[in-house]
Amino acid sequence: MRDFKIAPSILSADFARLGQEVDDVLASGADIVHFDVMDNHYVPNLTIGPMVCEALRKHGVTAPIDAHLMVKPVDDLIRQFIDAGATYITFHPEASDHIDRSLQLIRDGGCQAGLVFNPATPLHYLDYVMDKLDMVLLMSVNPGFGGQSFIPGTLDKLREARQRIDASGRDIRLEIDGGVKVDNIAEIARAGADTFVAGSAVFKARSNDDPHHYDSVMQAF
């Protein structure tokens, strides 16, 4: 039995109450805070950066923060997220001129390193860097926005990524991001994922009057 982890994407949280939202979702059983960084260049949307990550740490968040960098170039922001207290830092191979160097930069900063694969990005980017990875993140939507539908072909890609990770014998998490819902998570887990990002499916349960608003959705996962 794999060690399954749920990583709510705060992209769908209420940014005006972000600290409380993160506290609430962690209190309801979330394992990891998925932190989507978009630059309006690599992806057509603009979100949050290292200052917000640092603010969550100062607020008292001790759970792992999974910084998903949808930015180009990546190295300068990798350094800033190391300083801001990120736990995992993942980036898209197309966004780095020197993938091996960027991965090493993350590890040298004491963080866990990961590569992110868009739906049409081939897994061969894994070929020579398995020893530098702590996480492989497969996008099951095109990056940039929450609330999109899961692309079914990602299931085969998950099976292939699972085989590669198992064959490597290394301790590498296999994360899936985009369109994960209560009604498809079991199938996604069977295809090999162990870490599940869910944004809209979690935060649509918001009810500011009820301190336990995320309990039932987190239990359903």
Active site residues: 36, 177
Is residue 178 within 8 A of residue 197, CB to CB? The reply is yes
Burial class from Cβ neighbours inside 10 Å (0-12, 13-18, 19+) for residue 150 reads middle
Across the chain, which distance is largest between two alpha carbons, in Å? 51
175 binds Zn ion (CB under 5 A): no
CB neighbourhood size of 96 (10 A): 20
Is residue 93 within 8 A of residue 115, CB to CB? The reply is yes
68 binds Zn ion (CB under 5 A): yes
Quick one: which of 164, 177, 191, 214 contacts Zn ion (CB under 5 A)? Answer: 177
Q: Which of 72, 108, 96, 90 is nearest to 175 (CA)?
A: 90
Quick one: which of 50, 85, 114, 178 contacts ligand DX5 (CB under 6 A)? Answer: 178
Tokens at 151, concatenated? 């692309």
Contacting Zn ion within 23-42 (CB under 5 A): 36
146 binds ligand DX5 (CB under 6 A): yes
- The span of 54-62, 88-96, 136-144, 188-196 binding ligand DX5 (CB under 6 A) equals 136-144
CB neighbourhood size of 187 (10 A): 13
Q: Is 96 annotated as a binding residue?
A: no
Which residues have CB under 8 Å from 94's CB, separation 6+? Answer: 72, 118, 121
For residue 144, the partner it binds in Zn ion, ligand DX5, none, with Cβ less than 5 to 8 A by kind, is ligand DX5
199 binds ligand DX5 (CB under 6 A): yes
Nearer to ligand DX5, 29 or 166 (CB): 29
201 binds ligand DX5 (CB under 6 A): yes
Rounded CA separation 62/29 (Å): 14
Nearer to ligand DX5, 130 or 151 (CB): 151
Rounded CA separation 145/29 (Å): 24
Which residues have CB under 8 Å from 155's CB, separation 6+? Answer: 187, 188, 191
- The span of 67-75, 84-92, 93-101, 183-191 binding Zn ion (CB under 5 A) equals 67-75
Least distance from C-beta 43 to ligand DX5, angstroms?
Answer: 7
- The span of 102-110, 161-169, 192-200, 207-215 binding ligand DX5 (CB under 6 A) equals 192-200
144 binds ligand DX5 (CB under 6 A): yes
Rounded CA separation 40/198 (Å): 22
**Binding-site annotation, residues for a divalent metal cation:** 34, 36, 68, 177
* Binding site residues, ligand DX5, CB under 6 A: 9, 11-12, 34, 36, 68, 141, 143-144, 146-148, 177-180, 197-201
